[in-house]
Structure 1
């Protein structure tokens, strides 16, 4: 019997090797399938998270400013204007004032923009103005309205060149501060850059308690970016023009404005800028706007995260027909390209200072 097992096996036959390879390939295919499925799920979840996060951030920025529109603190009347803007266009004068508190442009760049500045085609823009960052002071002594300074009795916290509003129950003034934030007095003369101040007296003598605010003049628009996705941008005009890129991936913004027709401070209808006497210069019925409805279209930076091109109804884009690298618009219907994920975020924001 021992002779039957005297020759040990030295290797595998070709058939055995092929069977082993086939089993290995089947196992490897299963592992790859799990890996690819996990990767696709991860990419999709990442795209969803980014779109939702960007949409929430964008609507939060806009909602906060729109709610504050027209706020002037203790200032019950339009503040006395000390900024040297008489030679500027009416649009720029409006941008550096508290009225109109909100103003928009339908499918065109804001008229306050420079000739070289552009916005994304067929998107809306709006400007919101209000008094922010309020602080209360007690004047040290009697401030003569004929002098260029107002003593505050403490560090003002207002940086040089910021546009400041001073106010109490008697009156208010808007000017460009010349002192630094550590100074104990607001100063109009010396050290100002554009726009600067005119030589004028204060509206009254600031004695006792008064408040200071920083003029917030924010223009929101959609900007194209070379080599990357468009973004929501906020142009800050106090003191100088500065673009703050807020959220990347916002490819569209459409805005309608709630107009109060009968004086009850409730929106009777929502209309586009440029209609119903909502003029591009800020004149007309902008003071009757009590709310704004903003629709944002946000897309993911990741491509190929959905099985088919995403298509949905986008009522805010009704009447728009266009096509670009990111989407195709057909009169209220949008098709997102490159199998990106997209979502529309719509919010209606009431202006607090115009509520019933």
Structure 2
């Protein structure tokens, strides 16, 4: 007699379930591993992108420290006649740095009692640079005498107004003055009402360059935001000046920068360069290179364990909170990386 299949035996059913469970677990494991790899890769890419943007922005300013056109700052002293100037000695103040050891690091400077002094992260660094910034403006004619109005033309002329600060230079002289008149489209006066004198250091010709006075300060501060685990999110901030020389409020430029450390390449008598932190540099005017280091994280907890590693930056080691160091980072599950770049100061060769 022919027999038909009446169903599965218990053993066959258990074997089938075991094989199915193994297959599903394998697929799930592959998915989780792939997802974790994707998260880590994304975090690393975002961290590298943040580092590239932060270092590029800073390096662009740092390379131009002390720029005043073709006038060599080692040979040509900027003649400052503007009242309430952003600097009394451009050569001395073009590059300055501070170690933020407490909330009073800026005592005696223009950053004292400002948002920068109170917000800058303790254990990080602050750096300030000043330079001329080329504008789309040129002289439309030569000055007959040193106190003559400056005749200008160009796309950026309309950006300037009364009391704004202007830098003008050629290869032999440089001046910093305030515009005393309501500027027309082609005439800027520099009367003694907003300047210590109405005489520039020379009568400039069409070859002179017109520049904006640019001041930038970089520091790390708390954004006021928290990640998914309640940890603070820090960022790199920059404060720049307006055309009249006054400082704008600090602006966040790159998120997740946790620490900024800078060493200054000071030229020794032997012509060798020695890198030291700001508080150990004897003369900032002898600095010809900067070593910029940043500790950058990603705000998502993509690690399998807490980050207890120590990170080496120029002149400082950033440790975990239980490491006992003076400068610490939270022992969380964020991905962190250090980035270091050396920048040569073009105007201090």
Whether TM exceeds 0.5 here: the answer is yes
Partner of 1:47: 43
Is 1:107 aligned to 2:106, yes or no? no
Q: 2:308, 2:319 within 8 Å by CA — same for their partners in 1?
A: no
Alpha-carbon spacing, 1:40–1:178, altered in 2? closer, same or farther (3 Å): farther
Give the Cα separation in 2 of the matches to 1:155 and 1:179. Answer: 19
- Per-residue displacement from partner, 1:117-168 (whole Å, max 9, x unpaired)? 1201111111111112255634336455435x41124444462255421112
- Give 1:216 deviation, angstroms: 1.9
Is 1:57 aligned to 2:64, yes or no? no
Alpha-carbon spacing, 1:300–1:151, altered in 2? closer, same or farther (3 Å): same
Give the Cα separation in 1 of the matches to 2:268 and 2:334. Answer: 42
Aligned Cα RMSD in Å?
3.5
Q: 1:297, 1:344 within 8 Å by CA — same for their partners in 2?
A: yes
Partner of 1:29: 25
Partner of 2:198: 201
Alpha-carbon spacing, 1:288–1:18, altered in 2? closer, same or farther (3 Å): same
Is 1:159 aligned to 2:155, yes or no? no
Partner of 2:229: none
Q: 1:159, 1:181 within 8 Å by CA — same for their partners in 2?
A: no
Q: 1:102, 1:128 within 8 Å by CA — same for their partners in 2?
A: yes
- Give 1:69 deviation, angstroms: 0.9
Partner of 1:238: 242
Q: 1:311, 1:334 within 8 Å by CA — same for their partners in 2?
A: no
Partner of 2:336: 342
Q: 1:44, 1:306 within 8 Å by CA — same for their partners in 2?
A: no
Gaps of 5+ in 2: 227-232
Partner of 1:252: 259
Name which of structure 1's ranges 304-313 and 238-247 shifts more when overlaid on structure 2: 304-313
Give the Cα separation in 1 of the matches to 2:341 and 2:301. Answer: 27
Query: Secondary structure at 2:310's aligned position in 1?
Result: strand
- Per-residue displacement from partner, 1:38-92 (whole Å, max 9, x unpaired)? 1100011011111112122222222222221111113352222233217xxxxx6
Alignment of 1:9-24 (within 5 A): 9=6, 19-24=15-20
Task: State TM-score, norm by structure 2.
Answer: 0.79
Alignment of 1:244-283 (within 5 A): 244-262=251-269, 264=271, 266-267=272-273, 269-277=274-282
Partner of 1:311: 309
Give the Cα separation in 2 of the matches to 1:313 and 1:322. Answer: 9
Task: Give aligned pairs, total.
Answer: 326
- Give 1:305 deviation, angstroms: 2.5
Is 1:212 aligned to 2:210, yes or no? yes
Partner of 2:80: 81
Q: 1:71, 1:131 within 8 Å by CA — same for their partners in 2?
A: yes
Q: 2:317, 2:327 within 8 Å by CA — same for their partners in 1?
A: no
- Give 1:177 deviation, angstroms: 4.9
Give the Cα separation in 2 of the matches to 1:333 and 1:145. Answer: 54
Task: State TM-score, norm by structure 1.
Answer: 0.77
Alpha-carbon spacing, 1:155–1:306, altered in 2? closer, same or farther (3 Å): same
